[in-house]
Amino acid sequence: MSTDLDPVEPLEPVGSATAEPLLAAVLGTDGVAEVFSPHSRMRRLPALLVPAVGGAEPEVAVVDDGGHPAVAVRIATSSAQSTVDTARRVADRLIAAADDPGATVDVEVARIH
């Protein structure tokens, strides 16, 4: 059923079994201060939208995008280190951990402190 509140066609969640090692990779990256849910901004939307993002929210989102994992993470970085370098390190780790030549990675820095 389609409604006005259903703006996107959600991709299939791959599952926490895949996300957990990726989360560990992010948290273990030098300069990362926090990891937020990529969907935290949706938390207060109507409940009917929650299933579209998979219910329980992993801090690293992994969805199936045409047979390849699409990884998304929102992080806070430490201002003591270069945010640019930290974000690149996170991306490098996620690409390596995804272990799929078709994988894509989206890193968003939402806070620097």
Partner 1 sequence: MTGDDGIVLECGRTIEELSTYLDNGRTPRDPDIENCPECLNALEALDRVGQLSRDLIADEAVHLPALPEGWFQGILTAVRAEVGTGRSLPVQHPDPRVRITVTEGAVRSLLRAAGDSIDGLFVGRTEIVGDADVPGAPVQVRLTATAAWDRDVTELAERLRTRVYRVLAEHTELNVTAVDVDIVDVHGYDPADTAPSGTPGTPGKDLS
> Is 37 an interacting residue with respect to partner 1 (CB under 8 A)?
yes
State phi, psi for 100 to the nearest 5 degrees: -150, 120
Question: In this complex, which beta carbon is closest to partner 1, that of residue 48 or of residue 84?
Answer: 84
Instruction: Record the tokens describing residue 63, joined without a space.
Output: 């969805």
> Is 112 an interacting residue with respect to partner 1 (CB under 8 A)?
yes
Question: What residues pair up with 63 in beta bridges, in sequence order?
Answer: 13, 70
Shortest Cβ 3–partner 1 spacing (Å): 19
Helix residue ranges, H only, 51-103? 83-98
Residues 6 or more apart in contact with residue 17 via CB below 8 angstroms: none
Shortest Cβ 25–partner 1 spacing (Å): 14
Per CB under 8 A, residues contacting partner 1 are 34, 36-37, 40-45, 74, 76-77, 79, 82-84, 87-88, 91, 95, 102-113
